[in-house]
Amino acid sequence: MNEVKWGSYSFKTYFRPGLYLDDFNLKRLYRSIIEINNTSKKKVNIRYLQLEDIDEIKSFLSHIIVSIVHTRGKDISFLMNYIIEDGDVNILHVGIMIANSYTGNEAMAMMACFNKLEYFKQHKCFYTTNISATPAAIEAFDKISRKVWPSPKSQIKKPPKDYINVVKLLEEFYIKKWFQDPTECNIDPYRFVLKSPCKKMGFKTNMFQMSRANNIEYQNFCNSLIDYENEEDLVQVSTSGYLELIKTYLLTNLYLVFKKPPRFYEEEATIGDENDLSKIA
User: Would you give the end-to-end CA distance of the chain in angstroms?
Assistant: 23
- Phi and psi (nearest 5°) for 237? -130, 145
In this prediction, residue 271 carries a pLDDT of 41
pLDDT higher than threshold 80 for residue 266: no
What's the whole-model pTM score?
0.86
* Amino acid type, 62: S
What confidence tens digit (pLDDT) does each residue in 53-66 have? 999 999 999 999 99
Helix residue spans in the chain (DSSP H): 23-38, 54-61, 104-120, 135-143, 161-170, 176-178, 216-225, 242-258
* Amino acid type, 51: L
Cα torsion angle, 45, 46, 47, 49, sign: negative
pLDDT higher than threshold 90 for residue 48: yes
Cα torsion angle, 37, 40, 43, 45, sign: negative
What 3 state SS string does 207-254 have?
HHHCCCCCCHHHHHHHHHHCCHHHCEEEEEEEEECHHHHHHHHHHHHH
Instruction: Compute CA distances 167 → 4, 78, 137, whole Å.
Output: 32, 24, 18
Q: Are 168 and 244 in contact (CB under 8 A)?
A: no
275 or 263, which is more confident: 263
In this prediction, residue 262 carries a pLDDT of 67
What confidence tens digit (pLDDT) does each residue in 201-256 have? 878 777 877 878 889 999 999 999 999 989 999 999 999 998 888 988 888 888 88
What confidence tens digit (pLDDT) does each residue in 109-148 have? 889 889 999 999 999 999 999 999 889 889 988 887 889 9
